Structure 1
Amino acid sequence: MIPDASLYLRDSGFTYKYLTSKKAIKIINSKSIFALNPLFTTFIKKDSTGLLFHTLKESLLNSRKIKNKFALSFNVASYNKFDRGVYNISNEQFRLIEKIEGVITNENKVKVKVSLLNKDQNFAFQFLN
């Protein structure tokens, strides 16, 4: 199971050059791959303002729409569908979350959005139990 996650780093080009020089980014079948993640394939897209790391071939984040220093999106619902034994981070509260998105704006403000699976009025009761 591959987590459905994306990470965007605002960058002037230094990070990409550094990672390439240290062979942390490999070009395989015309795709840039982050080679330092042994658990699953991490793709990298570089644009004029930064780097987009993503685990699926089609990213959750669209790098053209991002105007922040840092952006992260993690689809908890799809991650929790599979049991990973010892490596499973699922618990009662995580099972109620659909997606977590966070950004650090250019003004250094942190914004986090948590989307919940259960949209019923009894969610607060379930969360407290």
Structure 2
Amino acid sequence: MQPDLAANTAENAVLTKATLRAADLLDITARMLASIIGVSEATVSRMRRQEFLLERGTKPFELAVLFVRLFRSLDAIVGGDETVARAWLKNANTAFDGTPLEKIVTISGLVDVIAYLDSRRALV
């Protein structure tokens, strides 16, 4: 395997694993994760079985990077308490006129929620 190819494969594997781990910790279903990163529910199942890796340069890869960033921001704010993070995602928030979980299924909503969390992290 060429060095660049090996590095890309490792990077793809790390992001795929991080995406699945973040979804698990936030109690996000395969269907919801599929909507967030723009793949089918079957593809998420293949990701879990390590039969599919997100690939750099694709839209799902970029959306997964944003999703992991959302997780990291939220995790920093709640101090690693997944129960609080899950509740925050699923409860109505007047800043979003709905729940953050409803917002993050669109690209603009995902970016908005990340911006909101980043602004809150600056206050912590």
TM-score normalised by L of structure 1: 0.25
Larger Rg: 1
TM-score normalised by L of structure 2: 0.26
Which has a greater percent of strand? 1
Which has a greater percent of helix? 2
